[in-house]
Amino acid sequence: MNVAMDSGGTPPAADIINPMTGQHQLAKGALNTRQVLFCCVTGAAPISAMLFNGPVGILGAGWAVPAAFIIATIVLTIFSVGYIEMARNVSSAGGFYSFVSHGLGNVAGMGTAILMTFCYLVFSAAVVGVTSYFGVANFMEWFGWDIPVWIFLFGTVIAMVLFNFFHIEVTARILGVALVAELVVLLVFSFAVLFQGGGPDGLVVESLNPLAVFDGDNNMAVAAGATGIALFAAFWSWVGFEMAPNYAEEAKEPKKVMAPAMYVSVIGLGLLYVFVMWMFVAASGKAGAAELVNQQYAGEIGSIFYPMSDQFAGSWLTLGFEIFILTGSFACQLAFFNTGCRYLFSMGREGVLPSMLGRTHAKYKSPHIAGLIAGIFVFLWVGAFFLYDSTYLGALLKLGTWSPLLGVAGILAIQALVSLAIIVYFAKQKKMHWFKTGLAPVIAIITQLYAVKLLFDFRGDLSGAAGVPFIQYLWLWPIIVFGIGVLIALVLRSTNPQKYAGIGRYLHEDIAS
């Protein structure tokens, strides 16, 4: 379709509506492969994953934490094989829920849509807690300023809504700069440790053995055998890698973007995470890793990485960690928020939620109304946790830890459901491949459901949360949210069959044609 361009080089405002369907469209062709990759990888937030999820992983696996990341890399790579095949056939801003709708039907698809939206916005709120914790800690360290944590909590939520308001390319540039900066800091630290041969126990090569994750004698920071905590931390570190299909409508070449964006996100992040955590264990020593975690959670140090970066590189690198954990965490929460908004937008455009959610901004082509509603949800979620614990450690250990525990459980269960949908879809299409759409999704289903089981088994060991209703009934919340989506679909099926038939069916024109 030939489109007249305005002086700014973007389609004029009128073209945000598809002339054939009358429906609003996102900014078509705004993102190249590199920018889609920035949106995905920054959602996984490498520096936040290491500085926040690393300590949580040590709680469950001790010095074997690098191996937990190896396990997650293998599982998610296998999942990606079938996921990419599905993305090549079904391209929509709906992502996961479009895939489930095409494979398992619209009732399951709507349940997936509501749960996915919920999980992404919960993730965004969780990272708000992480950003705020490091904001308070860093400003106290730098200037001696005791800034109230609520300023960071609610200030960053407002900032997310404002960034979502503008053109997606603006966000992609911000995410790209943040990503490059945090990668440099992590790699400088890791190579500094490697070139110096590690700390008291050398390079601790045995920490790379996946079987060691299930060993009960790894100098853990909690009771032995809490494998589920380690795997939770590892899988949580990748959440966001699967975002590529959600940007298909805004990508220049959606069919070509999916595979490189997904594989680089999964395998590239896996190699990075394993290397960084291996070097951290090498720096601290087997016993030192857990000791540093206990110091951080007691508020004695800002991060387990800071003493090690001081020792192996110098205070200048520690300052880099302190700066880029703030930019990286904010970029991470923004990436989650953008994806949650696109789920709301997709459902609004299909008419299964209020149609105003499916409108785009006349100038920036952003899902601005969906962003406002998402912002209100995140604001209320953050506010509830702030009322429960108003300390800056509470932002990390309550909002930043309990929330993603819920989100990871939901995401892993949905990824298992997506894997099942992939098998069914390609079987119906008679396009089955014995590995890509057969064995790989089966392995993904088994491993991800097992990870969910372990997560539920050890949920009480996280930050002393045993007995807290939010954690005690953790298994119930995803079921309730999924059930709300199912109920919406059933009501639509009986009252408005046309809207029901459209669940998860708005395809990018490059695929639909």
pTM, full prediction: 0.82
Tokens encoding 410: 């939901």
Q: At what angle do helices 65-89 and 254-263 cross, to 10 degrees?
A: 170
Q: Residue 251, SS3?
A: strand
**Domains identified in the chain, total number:** 1
pLDDT value at residue 219: 56
d(CA 261, CA 238): 13
Q: State the Cα angle at 93 between 92 and 98, rounded to 5°.
A: 55
Residue of 455, 366, 443 lying closest to 409 (CA atoms): 455
pLDDT value at residue 11: 33
pLDDT value at residue 359: 84
pLDDT value at residue 10: 31
How far is residue 30 from each of residues 76, 131, 182, 437, measured CA to CA in Å?
28, 28, 25, 31
Provide the domain limits for residue 74: 30-512
Determine, yes or no, domain membership for 311: yes
Q: Residue 308, SS3?
A: helix
Determine, yes or no, domain membership for 6: no
CB 33 within 8 Å of CB 172: no
Determine, yes or no, domain membership for 288: yes
How far is residue 64 from each of residues 56, 303, 308, 451, 485, measured CA to CA in Å?
12, 19, 18, 17, 39
d(CA 285, CA 281): 6
Q: Considering Cα of 321, then 325, then 327, then 332, what sign does the dihedral take?
A: positive
Determine, yes or no, domain membership for 19: no
Query: Which parts of the chain sit beneath pLDDT 50?
Result: 1-22, 93, 221-225, 508-513
Tokens encoding 374: 């998402």
pLDDT value at residue 5: 34
Determine, yes or no, domain membership for 144: yes
> Where is 451: in which H helix or E strand?
helix 440-457
pLDDT value at residue 14: 32
Determine, yes or no, domain membership for 317: yes
d(CA 442, CA 456): 22
Count of C-beta atoms within a 10 Å radius of residue 450: 15
Beta bridge partners of 415: none
pLDDT value at residue 40: 59
Determine, yes or no, domain membership for 17: no
pLDDT value at residue 215: 72
Q: What is the CATH number of the domain that holds 171?
A: 1.20.1740.10
d(CA 50, CA 46): 6
Determine, yes or no, domain membership for 368: yes
